[in-house]
């Protein structure tokens, strides 16, 4: 007498066989409405049989135990013919195929959760950063869900009430500091990813910081500075707010009037702008920082300065363009999950300066065309640094998912680390 089998294993095997049996008993018709992923089978052979029958159905071949066995043999896969006959024998009724599938899917999810828990336990035992382990644990648990889980079916009438309520609600765009830009993009929309692209020294950090400063009037802002220190950021805020020349601040050449302005500004400043100047930050570090800021005070937005400086972790051997593409996708997901605008500054290729028309194009985005795909809005900055027009900056809206493209020209006040609409004092 052989060893006793776990009753739950008999149940799951019967359920798996009943799915195969239902397909055979209906000559494959149940496949049309079966919401089930073959990877959920515990037995790899059952998965192979299921895939084979699905391919036969798609190619119009008849499905019964003989034709299926013939196809399996021609594929070179060794399968015991008794499996097909047993599948037919144990199936009570093909009408319950989705019930059998639900049993198998639940068991598959539990197996994956068990595997995920084991991996997390191993990471905990090996030590390491708690936040990174938590991030990996979330990914493992998310990955445990069956691939068969499909989105609920909703026809237009089912969704119309939500849309009408949305149209009746107040528009929640956060205006940028520049009315002429707002005329094109309306402002910064919750859940949207904004990419600001520029060549070196054109002014993308000035734009990013001014956007962060504006959003901070509406809630907390997480400013990730991978290029400037916190002191550098604060000095630029002082220059812009107090109209003190940046060179005086950087050289510490301040007079009594300047110090009086700074003293009053520091006393009154309650700007909820949180700065992370860790130059080695990974996307995991940034997400942790953003979550911490959000816990302290509800977020109004996030600014990352800039994409290409984000650290690639040891052991991550992906090509740089793949890595940057993944970053932009994760930033878009973060915007949607937190329902805030996320602004990502991005470097443009220097090679674009070799063109006769040196105004930047979206194709100049460095290292990743995927950045353009993920972005809801792409704004390219252009400034003729070595000409008499160096105090003018163009904002070129090259992509606007829900609106027009266009361009606007503004004053670049580098000595005050700020930009303003022309004619505005």
Closest by Cα among 128, 118, 119, 142 to 314:
128
Beta bridge partners of 24: none
pLDDT at position 4, please?
A: 40
Continuous segment of H or E residues that includes residue 222: strand 220-225
What are the pLDDT digits (tens) for 185-195? Answer: 988 998 899 99
Q: 276 vs 59, which has greater pLDDT?
A: 276
| Range from 17-26, 138-147, 287-296 carrying the lowest mean pLDDT | 138-147
In which band, very low, low, confident or very high, does the pLDDT at 49 lie, cut at 50, 70 and 90? very high
In which band, very low, low, confident or very high, does the pLDDT at 281 lie, cut at 50, 70 and 90? confident
Q: 301 vs 199, which has greater pLDDT?
A: 301
* Distance, CA of 412 to CA of 419 (rounded, Å): 5
Q: 86 vs 200, which has greater pLDDT?
A: 86
**331, 344 in Cβ contact below 8 A?**
yes
Residue 12 has pLDDT above 80, yes or no: yes
* Distance, CA of 160 to CA of 166 (rounded, Å): 10
Residue 204 has pLDDT above 60, yes or no: yes
pLDDT at position 2, please?
A: 39
Output the CA–CA distances (angstroms, integers) from residue 185 to 56, 78, 196, in the order listed: 51, 61, 13
What's the mean pLDDT when you consider all of the chain? 83
| Range from 28-37, 162-171, 274-283, 360-369 carrying the lowest mean pLDDT | 360-369
pLDDT at position 83, please?
A: 92
- DSSP secondary structure, 72-100, as one string: HHHTT----HHHHHHHHHH-S-GGGHHHH
Start-end of CATH 1.10.860.10 domains in the chain: 1-150
- DSSP secondary structure, 237-279, as one string: HHHHHHT--HHHHHHT---HHHHHHHHHHHHH----EEEE--T
| Range from 217-231, 368-382, 399-413 carrying the lowest mean pLDDT | 368-382
In which band, very low, low, confident or very high, does the pLDDT at 353 lie, cut at 50, 70 and 90? low
Considering the segment(s) 1-150 as one domain, its CATH architecture is Orthogonal Bundle (1.10)
What are the pLDDT digits (tens) for 27-47? Answer: 988 887 787 888 889 888 999
In which band, very low, low, confident or very high, does the pLDDT at 341 lie, cut at 50, 70 and 90? very high
pLDDT at position 287, please?
A: 84
Quickly count: other Cβ atoms within 10 Å of residue 269's Cβ: 12
What are the pLDDT digits (tens) for 101-158? Answer: 889 988 888 888 888 888 888 888 887 777 778 877 777 777 666 555 555 667 888 7
Continuous segment of H or E residues that includes residue 196: strand 193-198
Q: Is the dihedral of CA 23, 27, 31, 33 positive or negative?
A: negative
In which band, very low, low, confident or very high, does the pLDDT at 365 lie, cut at 50, 70 and 90? confident
In which band, very low, low, confident or very high, does the pLDDT at 10 lie, cut at 50, 70 and 90? very low
Residue 162 has pLDDT above 50, yes or no: yes
Start-end of CATH 3.40.50.300 domains in the chain: 179-421
**Which of 65-74, 281-290, 352-361 holds the top average pLDDT?**
65-74
Residue 173 has pLDDT above 60, yes or no: yes
pLDDT at position 282, please?
A: 78
* Distance, CA of 390 to CA of 410 (rounded, Å): 11
Closest by Cα among 82, 417, 29 to 240:
417
**403, 186 in Cβ contact below 8 A?**
yes
In which band, very low, low, confident or very high, does the pLDDT at 355 lie, cut at 50, 70 and 90? low
Q: What percent of the chain has pLDDT over 70?
A: 90
Contacts of 368 (CB under 8 A, 6+ apart): 321, 324, 325, 328
Residue 362 has pLDDT above 60, yes or no: yes
Task: Please determine, looking at this structure, whether the domain spanning 179-421 carries the CATH number 3.40.50.300.
Answer: yes
Q: What percent of the chain has pLDDT over 90?
A: 15
């Amino acid at each position: 007498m052989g060893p006793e089998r776990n009753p739950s294993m008999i149940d799951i095997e019967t359920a798996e066989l009943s799915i195969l049996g239902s397909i055979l008993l209906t000559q494959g018709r149940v496949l049309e409405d079966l919401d089930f992923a073959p990877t959920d089978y515990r037995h790899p052979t059952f998965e192979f049989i299921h895939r084979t029958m699905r391919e036969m159905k798609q190619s119009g071949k008849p499905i019964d135990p003989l034709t299926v066995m013939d196809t399996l043999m021609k594929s070179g896969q060794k399968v015991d013919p008794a499996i097909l006959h047993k599948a037919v024998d144990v199936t009570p009724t093909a009408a319950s195929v989705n019930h059998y599938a639900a049993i198998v899917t639940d068991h598959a999810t539990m197996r994956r959760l068990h595997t995920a828990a084991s991996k997390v336990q191993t990471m905990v035992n090996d030590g390491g950063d708690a936040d990174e382990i938590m991030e990996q644990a979330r990914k493992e648990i998310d990955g445990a869900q069956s691939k068969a889980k499909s989105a609920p079916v909703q026809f237009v009438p089912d969704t119309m009430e939500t849309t009408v309520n949305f149209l009746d609600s107040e528009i929640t765009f956060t205006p940028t500091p520049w009315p002429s830009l707002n005329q094109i993009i309306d402002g910064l929309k919750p859940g949207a990813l904004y990419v600001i692209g520029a060549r070196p020294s054109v002014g993308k950090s000035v734009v990013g910081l001014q956007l962060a400063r504006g959003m901070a009037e509406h809630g907390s802002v997480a400013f990730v500075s991978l290029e400037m220190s916190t002191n550098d950021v604060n000095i630029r805020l002082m220059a812009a707010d107090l109209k003190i020349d940046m060179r005086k601040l950087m050289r510490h050449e301040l007079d009594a009037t300047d110090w009086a302005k700074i003293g009053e500004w520091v006393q009154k400043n309650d700007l909820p702008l949180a700065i992370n100047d860790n130059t080695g930050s990974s996307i995991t570090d940034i997400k942790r920082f953003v979550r911490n800021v959000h816990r302290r005070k509800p977020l109004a937005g996030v600014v990352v300065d800039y994409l290409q400086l984000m650290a690639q972790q040891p052991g991550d051997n992906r090509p740089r363009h793949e890595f940057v593409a993944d970053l932009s996708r994760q930033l878009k997901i973060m915007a949607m999950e937190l329902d805030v605008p996320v602004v990502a500054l991005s470097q443009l290729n220097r090679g674009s300066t070799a063109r006769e028309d040196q105004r930047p194009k979206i194709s100049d985005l460095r290292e990743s065309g995927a950045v353009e795909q993920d972005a809801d809005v792409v704004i390219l900055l252009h400034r003729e640094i070595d000409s008499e027009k160096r105090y003018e900056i163009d904002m070129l809206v090259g992509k606007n998912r829900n609106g027009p493209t266009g361009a606007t020209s503004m004053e670049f006040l580098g000595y005050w680390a700020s930009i303003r609409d022309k004619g505005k004092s």
